[in-house]
Structure 1
């Protein structure tokens, strides 16, 4: 039924739970599994919503590097879990995108036929609702979405 699944992870417990569901599905359908983490664009905004004129290039480069290191750690952890389950995964890191947009775009670009993700992750106030990212993916994806609670 499924041949290529994409699972969005952010390092939260709920995304790990979603990953475990994706692994079980990939195993039972003998499907490929891409594990995706997305990091937001880096911007620096002053309290008055004006861009600060300090050495923003250096600050943004440091911020992007920290995000990349965190993403690599998240994907490494997901890879270990997959290896323990005997499932090969394709790690995908997409920097500079809003999570929902990155998930939908990646699923489309890799021809995934299922998106698996947690109902919320570590994204601030949005996690108080269904998880704004999950709601956005549901609203904008042509690919079926499995939301894990």
Structure 2
């Protein structure tokens, strides 16, 4: 098996960075390209009439994008410095798992490497599990990194 394109979805959690480290090791072994992506959360207020006039919400969305871009730039600099080919992508306005799977299709990913927060019980019920959803829906191999 060869992995030419490895997709790594990240957020700002330590488990995401652990997934990046695993992807780097695999990329070095196979000479792969790593595509690191962030999905900016779907804004639940997007359809609310006052959305366009709520500066605090607009500011929050802009800050989220700035933070995601900074995180991706840092990861790209690190991986490039370690000799790994890297591309970064930011996806907006879709549910996280959908964004991940869409990008996997677009880039013809051979492998998805992602962290799992390992939520259980009520937290899992309320917050869900993106990793579990991607694992269940993906037609590609998915490597789940746990804490």
Listed as ranges, the gaps of 5+ residues in structure 1 are none
User: How far does the alpha carbon of each residue in 1:73-123 deviate from its partner, in whole angstroms, 9 at most, with x for none?
Assistant: 2202211331342212101111112111111110011100100000128xx
> Could you tell me whether the CA contact under 8 Å between 2:39 and 2:92 is conserved in 1?
yes
Aligned residues: CA RMSD:
2.7
How much does 1:70 deviate?
Answer: 1.5
TM-score, reference length from structure 1: 0.83
Residue in structure 1 matched with residue 24 of structure 2 by the alignment: 23
Q: Specify which of 93, 98, 114 is matched with residue 96 of structure 1.
A: 93
* Compared CA separation, residues 38 and 25, structure 1 to 2 (3 A): same
Structure 2: runs of 5+ lacking an equivalent: none
Runs of 4+ in 1 over 4 A off after TM superposition: none
Counterpart position of 2:39:
38
> Equivalent residue of 2:130, what SS?
helix
CA distance in 1, matches of 2:14, 2:125: 13
Normalised TM-score (structure 2):
0.84
Count of aligned positions: 141
1:143 corresponds in structure 2 to 140
Corresponding position of 2:70? 73
Distance 1:134 1:57 in 2: 32
Cα 1:22–1:58, aligned 2, differ >3 Å: closer, same or farther? Answer: farther
- Return the alpha-carbon distance in structure 2 between the equivalents of residues 84 and 19 of structure 1: 14
